[in-house]
Amino acid sequence: MSASTHTNGNTLLLRWSVIMAIALVAFFASYRFAIANSTTTRGAGVPGAVAAGGGGCCGGGGGASASKAGGTGAAGATGAISGGGGCCGGGATGPKTTKGASVSGGVQKIAVDVSKGYYDPSTIELKAGVPAEITFSQASGCTGIVQSQQLGFSEDLSGGPKTVSLPALQAGTYQFACGMNMVTGTIVVK
Protein backbone atom coordinates (compact mmCIF):
# COMPACT_ATOMS: atom_id res chain seq x y z
CA MET A 1 0.00 0.00 0.00
CA SER A 2 2.88 2.34 0.66
CA ALA A 3 4.24 1.94 -2.90
CA SER A 4 0.77 2.54 -4.37
CA THR A 5 0.30 5.70 -2.31
CA HIS A 6 3.75 6.92 -3.33
CA THR A 7 2.99 6.32 -7.06
CA ASN A 8 -0.39 8.10 -6.82
CA GLY A 9 1.31 11.03 -5.08
CA ASN A 10 3.89 11.32 -7.88
CA THR A 11 1.15 11.14 -10.54
CA LEU A 12 -0.84 13.84 -8.75
CA LEU A 13 2.26 16.03 -8.45
CA LEU A 14 3.03 15.53 -12.15
CA ARG A 15 -0.55 16.44 -13.13
CA TRP A 16 -0.48 19.64 -11.07
CA SER A 17 2.92 20.55 -12.48
CA VAL A 18 1.60 20.19 -16.06
CA ILE A 19 -1.53 22.22 -15.19
CA MET A 20 0.58 25.01 -13.66
CA ALA A 21 2.92 25.06 -16.67
CA ILE A 22 -0.05 25.39 -19.05
CA ALA A 23 -1.57 28.12 -16.88
CA LEU A 24 1.71 30.09 -16.88
CA VAL A 25 2.08 29.82 -20.64
CA ALA A 26 -1.53 30.95 -21.12
CA PHE A 27 -1.04 33.85 -18.69
CA PHE A 28 2.11 35.17 -20.38
CA ALA A 29 0.64 34.71 -23.87
CA SER A 30 -2.52 36.62 -22.93
CA TYR A 31 -0.45 39.31 -21.17
CA ARG A 32 1.71 39.80 -24.29
CA PHE A 33 -1.44 39.94 -26.45
CA ALA A 34 -3.08 42.47 -24.12
CA ILE A 35 0.01 44.71 -24.11
CA ALA A 36 0.24 44.62 -27.90
CA ASN A 37 -3.44 45.52 -28.29
CA SER A 38 -3.77 48.08 -25.50
CA THR A 39 -1.34 50.72 -26.75
CA THR A 40 -4.00 52.28 -28.94
CA THR A 41 -7.03 53.51 -27.02
CA ARG A 42 -9.66 56.13 -27.68
CA GLY A 43 -9.07 59.32 -25.73
CA ALA A 44 -11.82 60.39 -23.37
CA GLY A 45 -13.55 63.59 -24.35
CA VAL A 46 -11.40 64.25 -27.43
CA PRO A 47 -13.03 63.15 -30.67
CA GLY A 48 -10.58 61.25 -32.87
CA ALA A 49 -7.87 61.13 -30.18
CA VAL A 50 -5.40 58.26 -30.01
CA ALA A 51 -3.27 57.79 -26.92
CA ALA A 52 -0.32 55.44 -26.98
CA GLY A 53 1.19 54.34 -23.72
CA GLY A 54 4.85 54.15 -22.94
CA GLY A 55 6.91 51.02 -22.71
CA GLY A 56 7.20 50.58 -26.44
CA CYS A 57 6.97 47.52 -28.60
CA CYS A 58 9.46 44.72 -29.12
CA GLY A 59 10.48 44.96 -25.46
CA GLY A 60 11.56 48.58 -25.91
CA GLY A 61 11.37 51.14 -23.22
CA GLY A 62 12.51 54.77 -23.14
CA GLY A 63 13.38 56.38 -26.40
CA ALA A 64 11.56 58.88 -28.52
CA SER A 65 8.43 60.56 -27.32
CA ALA A 66 6.09 62.37 -29.64
CA SER A 67 3.00 64.46 -29.26
CA LYS A 68 1.23 65.87 -32.27
CA ALA A 69 -1.95 67.91 -32.40
CA GLY A 70 -4.25 67.05 -35.24
CA GLY A 71 -6.38 69.37 -37.28
CA THR A 72 -9.75 68.79 -38.81
CA GLY A 73 -10.04 65.21 -40.07
CA ALA A 74 -11.81 63.93 -43.15
CA ALA A 75 -15.01 63.54 -41.14
CA GLY A 76 -14.64 66.98 -39.56
CA ALA A 77 -13.39 65.70 -36.18
CA THR A 78 -10.49 67.22 -34.36
CA GLY A 79 -7.85 64.63 -33.45
CA ALA A 80 -4.58 64.17 -31.68
CA ILE A 81 -1.98 61.44 -31.50
CA SER A 82 0.32 61.08 -28.56
CA GLY A 83 3.07 58.50 -28.33
CA GLY A 84 5.65 57.75 -25.70
CA GLY A 85 8.27 55.15 -25.04
CA GLY A 86 10.54 53.41 -27.46
CA CYS A 87 9.79 51.38 -30.52
CA CYS A 88 11.76 48.39 -31.72
CA GLY A 89 15.16 49.21 -30.32
CA GLY A 90 14.57 52.65 -28.88
CA GLY A 91 12.31 54.36 -31.37
CA ALA A 92 14.35 55.58 -34.30
CA THR A 93 13.90 59.27 -34.87
CA GLY A 94 15.26 60.64 -38.08
CA PRO A 95 15.62 64.16 -39.29
CA LYS A 96 12.39 66.14 -39.50
CA THR A 97 11.90 66.58 -43.22
CA THR A 98 9.07 68.07 -45.26
CA LYS A 99 8.28 67.27 -48.87
CA GLY A 100 5.42 68.18 -51.16
CA ALA A 101 3.67 65.69 -53.41
CA SER A 102 3.84 66.09 -57.19
CA VAL A 103 0.61 66.21 -59.19
CA SER A 104 0.39 63.83 -62.14
CA GLY A 105 -2.81 63.03 -64.02
CA GLY A 106 -5.04 64.71 -61.43
CA VAL A 107 -3.53 62.70 -58.52
CA GLN A 108 -0.88 63.81 -56.03
CA LYS A 109 1.90 61.25 -55.57
CA ILE A 110 4.68 60.97 -53.03
CA ALA A 111 6.97 58.22 -51.74
CA VAL A 112 7.89 57.82 -48.07
CA ASP A 113 10.98 55.83 -47.05
CA VAL A 114 10.36 53.79 -43.88
CA SER A 115 13.31 51.39 -44.24
CA LYS A 116 15.43 53.21 -41.61
CA GLY A 117 12.78 52.92 -38.88
CA TYR A 118 11.36 56.43 -39.35
CA TYR A 119 9.35 58.30 -41.98
CA ASP A 120 11.33 60.23 -44.58
CA PRO A 121 9.82 62.70 -45.21
CA SER A 122 8.18 62.97 -41.79
CA THR A 123 5.83 65.72 -43.03
CA ILE A 124 3.98 65.41 -46.32
CA GLU A 125 2.43 68.49 -47.93
CA LEU A 126 -0.67 67.94 -50.09
CA LYS A 127 -2.99 70.27 -51.98
CA ALA A 128 -6.57 70.44 -50.73
CA GLY A 129 -9.22 69.02 -53.04
CA VAL A 130 -6.89 66.72 -55.02
CA PRO A 131 -6.80 62.91 -54.47
CA ALA A 132 -3.45 61.55 -53.28
CA GLU A 133 -1.39 58.38 -53.40
CA ILE A 134 1.29 57.88 -50.76
CA THR A 135 3.66 54.97 -51.34
CA PHE A 136 5.34 53.70 -48.15
CA SER A 137 8.49 51.57 -48.59
CA GLN A 138 8.97 48.13 -47.12
CA ALA A 139 9.68 48.18 -43.37
CA SER A 140 9.96 45.82 -40.41
CA GLY A 141 9.36 45.85 -36.67
CA CYS A 142 6.56 48.13 -35.53
CA THR A 143 7.19 50.44 -38.51
CA GLY A 144 6.10 47.42 -40.56
CA ILE A 145 2.57 48.77 -40.06
CA VAL A 146 1.53 52.27 -41.10
CA GLN A 147 -1.86 53.49 -39.94
CA SER A 148 -4.07 56.52 -39.52
CA GLN A 149 -7.33 56.50 -37.62
CA GLN A 150 -8.10 60.00 -38.91
CA LEU A 151 -7.80 58.87 -42.52
CA GLY A 152 -9.01 55.31 -42.01
CA PHE A 153 -6.10 53.23 -43.28
CA SER A 154 -3.78 50.55 -41.96
CA GLU A 155 -1.22 48.81 -44.18
CA ASP A 156 1.29 46.03 -43.55
CA LEU A 157 4.66 47.07 -45.01
CA SER A 158 6.58 43.95 -43.98
CA GLY A 159 5.93 42.22 -47.32
CA GLY A 160 6.86 45.15 -49.53
CA PRO A 161 5.88 48.71 -50.39
CA LYS A 162 2.21 49.70 -50.21
CA THR A 163 0.38 52.62 -51.77
CA VAL A 164 -2.34 54.32 -49.75
CA SER A 165 -4.94 56.08 -51.88
CA LEU A 166 -6.60 59.05 -50.23
CA PRO A 167 -9.63 60.98 -51.44
CA ALA A 168 -9.45 64.72 -51.97
CA LEU A 169 -8.91 66.05 -48.45
CA GLN A 170 -9.95 69.31 -46.87
CA ALA A 171 -7.27 71.67 -45.58
CA GLY A 172 -5.96 70.54 -42.21
CA THR A 173 -3.37 68.43 -40.44
CA TYR A 174 -3.62 64.65 -40.35
CA GLN A 175 -1.48 62.09 -38.54
CA PHE A 176 -0.14 58.66 -39.44
CA ALA A 177 1.98 56.37 -37.29
CA CYS A 178 3.62 52.98 -36.92
CA GLY A 179 1.72 50.01 -35.52
CA MET A 180 2.46 51.10 -31.95
CA ASN A 181 1.94 54.85 -32.50
CA MET A 182 5.53 55.49 -31.46
CA VAL A 183 6.94 56.69 -34.79
CA THR A 184 4.71 59.37 -36.28
CA GLY A 185 4.33 61.39 -39.42
CA THR A 186 2.17 64.32 -40.49
CA ILE A 187 0.18 65.16 -43.59
CA VAL A 188 -0.42 68.89 -44.01
CA VAL A 189 -3.14 69.74 -46.52
CA LYS A 190 -3.17 73.36 -47.74
Percent of the chain with pLDDT over 90: 48
The tally of domains found in the chain comes to 2
* Shared domain check, 60 and 34: no
Mean pLDDT in runs of 10 for the chain (190 residues)?
65 88 83 60 36 40 35 37 42 80 94 94 96 96 93 95 96 95 94
Query: Which burial class, exposed, middle or buried, applies to 147 when counting CB atoms under 10 A from its CB (0-12, 13-18, 19+)?
Result: buried
* Shared domain check, 31 and 69: no
* Shared domain check, 31 and 88: no
Phi-psi region of 90 (alpha: psi -120 to 50; beta: other; left: phi over 0): left
Global pTM?
0.56
* Shared domain check, 114 and 94: yes
| Contact call for residues 70 and 173 (beta carbons, < 8 A) | yes
* Shared domain check, 117 and 77: yes
* Shared domain check, 46 and 29: no
* Shared domain check, 54 and 25: no
CATH number for the domain that contains residue 74: 2.60.40.420
- Number of Cβ atoms within 10 Å of the Cβ of 107: 15
pLDDT digits (tens, 9 = 90+) for 132-150: 999 999 999 989 999 999 9
* Shared domain check, 102 and 28: no
* Shared domain check, 148 and 98: yes
* Shared domain check, 103 and 56: yes
pLDDT digits (tens, 9 = 90+) for 80-93: 333 344 444 444 57
Q: Which domain holds residue 11?
A: 1-38
* Shared domain check, 127 and 64: yes
pLDDT at 45 (0 to 100): 35
* Shared domain check, 108 and 154: yes
Q: DSSP states of 113-162 as a string? A: B-TTSS-BSSEEEE-TTS-EEEEEPP--GGGGEEEETTTTEEEE-TTS-E
Q: Which residues make Cβ contacts (< 8 Å) with residue 127, sequence separation at least 6?
A: 101, 103, 108, 189, 190
